Structure 1
Amino acid sequence: MYRSFHIKNEIRILAIDDSALIGNQIMIIGAFFRGGEWLDGVMRAYITRDGMDSTDIITNMIMSSKHREQIRVIMLDGMTYAGFNPVDINYIWELTGIPVVVVMRTYPDLRKIGDALLHLPEPKKRMDIILRAGNITQVRTKPGYNPLYIQCAGIEAQHAAKIVRLTATRSNIPEPLRVAHLIATGIVLGESRGKA
């Protein structure tokens, strides 16, 4: 069952990205955006490097936020955080009632991911969470740019793609995710670096 809503230019988005992999507890930053233009707030939390707590931590971030009632979409940078800490986007959608859109720069190599997970506890459980995210859809934000790839829960792919294109205002990457990345890396490393 998909949530039905009109996609406005100033749609409220919570975009979440993680910081550099330094230490065992990795900071994640949530950036509250109106469309691809206005940053309205920032929040942070910590998840375990290569752990299994990202879904619960992200859900708690959302449920405890003063912006919760305004958020129309949760936007994530990839299916795993803090190394290989997988996010169950369907669980987040079911618990919060807010659609989730995962944005990826490249098409995920599931075989390589599976091989990497073999070096961690509960590899099958981790892979099951990743596979549950469902179909991968290609999205082109601008002519001449490489395509992005998305997965989503609680929203049809065509609507998720429209939101990704709408919010990619300054680069190929949706601005809410780009800013969340800059804040996360800047806080942890002293200066922002790398690509969102």
Structure 2
Amino acid sequence: MHLGKKGLRVAGIAESFSCSARSTLACVVMRRDLRIDGAAFGSVTVGGMDATGSIIDLIGDLHRKDLNLVMISGCVIAWFNVLDPEAISRATGLPVIAVTYEASEGLENEIESHFPGDRARLELYRNLGERTAFPLSTGERIYLRLAGIGLHEAGFICDRFTLDGRVPEPLRVARLMARALMRGTGSAR
């Protein structure tokens, strides 16, 4: 991957949900020069176990051969629907960066409380491993889980795609689009 190339393309994925059974997913394809170059929408079950498959489908829906990377806002979305960055990377052939924004003791106790006896969900969460803190040149800190990419490259990409604050632009725009679609139609797909 040529990190300085202005045509480097990131598929940024974020979600938004309210009190419905489905959460809206938005994917924005953004070039390194911050031009938006594509978009797709999907959904995931709130409290379900379909996040990984839904994101793989969403990336497939783009029908793009020029993507260089997938960036996802978090590994636990839509009320404890845990995704697997390694599986997404294997299925798409693309590196995956999952970004979060707060230090945390983890969600293991919350998962056990809300989903007692759900060993598959808990094991998937445990397999995510620890997050790695990364300082951005904006002065903010983000936390990364990675698949198919090293910390240096992932941090460089996140830093270059973050104009201010701590949210990389592909994720900021995807989140805005997911919220707008959710408010306008209630859900996608």
- How does the TM-score come out when normalised to structure 2? 0.89
- Quick check: 1:133–1:153 contact (8 Å CA) kept in 2? no
Q: Do the aligned partners of residues 127 and 10 (structure 1) sit closer, same or farther apart at CA in structure 2, a change above 3 Å counting? A: farther
Match of 1:26 in 2: 23
Cα deviations across residues 44-78 of structure 1 (Å, max 9, x unaligned)?
111100100010111111123222x1111100111
Match of 1:160 in 2: 154
Which amino acid in structure 2 is aligned with residue 124 of structure 1? Answer: R
For structure 2, the residue ranges without an aligned partner over 5 or more in a row are 185-189
* 1:1-196 superposed matches below 5 A: 5-7=1-3, 8-35=5-32, 37-67=34-64, 69-110=65-106, 113-118=107-112, 119-120=114-115, 123-145=118-140, 147-189=141-183
> CA separation in 2, counterparts of 1:82 and 1:72?
26
- Once the two structures are overlaid, the 10-residue window that deviates more, 163-172 or 173-182, is 163-172
Match of 2:187 in 1: none
> CA separation in 2, counterparts of 1:184 and 1:32?
14
> CA separation in 2, counterparts of 1:123 and 1:107?
25
> CA separation in 2, counterparts of 1:58 and 1:141?
26
Q: Do the aligned partners of residues 143 and 43 (structure 1) sit closer, same or farther apart at CA in structure 2, a change above 3 Å counting? A: closer
- Quick check: 2:21–2:46 contact (8 Å CA) kept in 1? yes
- Quick check: 2:108–2:125 contact (8 Å CA) kept in 1? no
> CA separation in 2, counterparts of 1:75 and 1:60?
15
> CA separation in 2, counterparts of 1:71 and 1:90?
17
> CA separation in 2, counterparts of 1:130 and 1:169?
31
- Quick check: 1:9–1:166 contact (8 Å CA) kept in 2? no
Q: Do the aligned partners of residues 121 and 10 (structure 1) sit closer, same or farther apart at CA in structure 2, a change above 3 Å counting? A: farther
How far 1:42 moved relative to its partner?
1.3
- Once the two structures are overlaid, the 10-residue window that deviates more, 125-134 or 88-97, is 125-134
Percent sequence identity is 27
> CA separation in 1, counterparts of 2:160 and 2:145?
17
Which amino acid in structure 1 is aligned with residue 162 of structure 2? Answer: A
> Pairwise CA RMSD of aligned residues?
1.7
> CA separation in 1, counterparts of 2:155 and 2:139?
17
- Once the two structures are overlaid, the 10-residue window that deviates more, 46-55 or 125-134, is 125-134
> How many matched pairs?
182
How far 1:180 moved relative to its partner?
0.4
How far 1:121 moved relative to its partner?
6.1
Q: Do the aligned partners of residues 41 and 121 (structure 1) sit closer, same or farther apart at CA in structure 2, a change above 3 Å counting? A: farther
- Quick check: 1:20–1:189 contact (8 Å CA) kept in 2? no
Stretches of 4+ aligned residues off by more than 6 angstroms? none
